[in-house]
Amino acid sequence: MAEQDKVILHGMWASPYAKRVELALNFKGIPYEYVEEDLRNKSDLLLKYNPVHKKVPVLVHNGKAIAESMVILEYIDETWKDGPKLLPSDSYKRAQARFWCHFIQDQLMESTFLVVKTDGEAQQKAIDHVYEKLKVLEDGMKTYLGEGNAIISGVENNFGILDIVFCALYGAYKAHEEVIGLKFIVPEKFPVLFSWLMAIAEVEAVKIATPPHEKTVGILQLFRLSALKSSSATE
């Protein structure tokens, strides 16, 4: 890395979108300064750097701002070419990795949040939807990752963009279980996804980005209670 490289990440510690960037920077060994944003009172810098969406994450590299986590991950991989890659080198495998990242982004992110934010019938509906989509992902990953030891060695040798996007969403599985009393990645239903998640949890870049369990439980509870409260106020 050139001497003059200055990298700043504007994030929020519990955001799965910001977590993607944090994981990518850790994994590639890129030194960076971290700015924690208060999302109820966003900094002027965040609003200046991301006027369109006004959201974290924003990566600022030598004064130039890049927003949107998936765009940032591609930027990181293309800018820091030394060391481990986030995307496979083969263009067909890159396409498959991007396809499944899109799938998680479009089909699973919002509906997984919805499970945390609802209860009763609405929650059951959201759970059914998430399980249906996870089944599609399970079948896809059976082909993409293989099964059994192939998964573990795949994660060890080819950790990258898809592992990051999956684990930024489901890495907090213990907190999910404690707060909403259910597992998303049920081992009996989704054995491939479960082995995958367990293998990812052993990666050093992931370990150092994992906040203390109690802290994650606390914010998830807050997020859930505030969503339930505002939904009952509007019903």
String marking each residue 97-116 x if it binds a copy of itself according to CB under 8 A: -xx--xx-------------
Q: Which stretch binds a copy of itself (CB under 8 A): 11-19, 59-67, 184-192, 195-203?
A: 59-67
Q: What is the distance in angstroms between the CA of the first residue and the CA of the last residue of the chain?
A: 54
Closest CA to 223 of 175, 161, 158, 173: 175
String marking each residue 121-160 x if it binds a copy of itself according to CB under 8 A: ---------------x---x--------------------
Q: Select from 44, 64, 232, 234 the one that contacts a copy of itself (CB under 8 A).
A: 64
The C-alpha atoms of residue 201 and residue 218 are separated, in whole angstroms, by 21
| Tokens 């080819």 found at | 158
Could you say which DSSP state residue 90 is in?
Answer: S
Residue 189: CB partners within 8 Å, gap ≥ 6? 131, 134, 135, 138
- Beta carbon of residue 226, minimum distance to a copy of itself (angstroms, whole number): 25
Q: Is 4 in the site for a copy of itself (CB under 8 A)?
A: no
Q: Are strands 64-67 and 33-36 parallel, antiparallel or unpaired?
A: unpaired
The C-alpha atoms of residue 59 and residue 49 are separated, in whole angstroms, by 9
Residue 235: its H or E element: none
The CA–CA distances, whole Å, from 31 to 4, 14, 58, 93 equal 12, 20, 16, 28
Q: Is 12 in the site for a copy of itself (CB under 8 A)?
A: no
Residue number, 77 or 176, with CB nearest to a copy of itself: 77
Q: Is 68 in the site for a copy of itself (CB under 8 A)?
A: yes
Q: Which stretch binds a copy of itself (CB under 8 A): 29-37, 62-70, 200-208, 213-221?
A: 62-70
Q: Is 72 in the site for a copy of itself (CB under 8 A)?
A: yes
Q: Is 210 in the site for a copy of itself (CB under 8 A)?
A: no
Instruction: Note the residues at the interface with a copy of itself (CB under 8 A).
Output: 52, 61, 64, 66-68, 70-72, 74-75, 78-79, 91-92, 94-95, 98-99, 102-103, 136, 140
